[in-house]
């Protein structure tokens, strides 16, 4: 047996936690933006959303997600597809993400985020 580590959904989601919404300071996994992770051999395909279709962070979040997944040993290709169904809403934020959001609000971080979402 080699020292090679399998690509798993948990490893992909952990890597995606490195991608942080710059306005909120919360990673895209805990924000509930990552919907699915499909792994076929060394190819990883992530379906994610944004808080709203007009979000100006579109390109930077997608590129960041592709880079984070592509850095996992064994990943040959990393692709990210933006989907809008189901639409994102604040109920998708994980308990950790909500705690981080509340901490950020208490520290005075602007709450202009969610790109205009409710």
CATH fold of 9-109, please? GMP Synthetase; Chain A, domain 3 (3.30.300)
Query: What was the pLDDT predicted at 117?
Result: 46
pLDDT of residue 86: 94
Find the mean pLDDT for residues 75-90. 95
Please give, one letter per residue, the 3-state secondary structure of 9-73: HHHHHHHHCCCEECCCCEECCCCCCEEEEEEECCEEEEEECCCCCCCCCHHHHHHHHHHHHHCCC
With a cut of 60, say whether residue 112 has pLDDT above it: no
The model's pTM: 0.86
**Token pair in block for residue 104:** 């950020």
Parse the chain into domains and list their residue ranges.
9-109
User: How confident is the model over 10-61, as pLDDT tens digits?
Assistant: 999 999 999 998 878 899 999 999 999 999 999 999 999 998 888 888 899 9
Would you give the DSSP letter of residue 86? S
């Amino acid at each position: 047996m080699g020292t090679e580590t399998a690509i798993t959904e948990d490893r992909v989601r952990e890597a995606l936690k490195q991608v942080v919404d710059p306005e909120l300071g919360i990673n895209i996994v805990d924000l509930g933006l990552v919907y699915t992770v499909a792994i076929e051999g060394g190819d990883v395909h992530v379906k994610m959303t944004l808080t709203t279709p007009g979000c100006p962070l579109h390109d930077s979040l997608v590129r960041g997600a592709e880079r984070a997944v592509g850095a996992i040993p064994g990943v040959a290709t990393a692709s990210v597809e933006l989907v809008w169904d189901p639409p994102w809403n604040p109920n998708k934020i994980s308990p950790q993400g909500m705690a981080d959001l509340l901490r950020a609000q208490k520290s005075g971080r602007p709450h202009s985020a969610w790109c205009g979402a409710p």
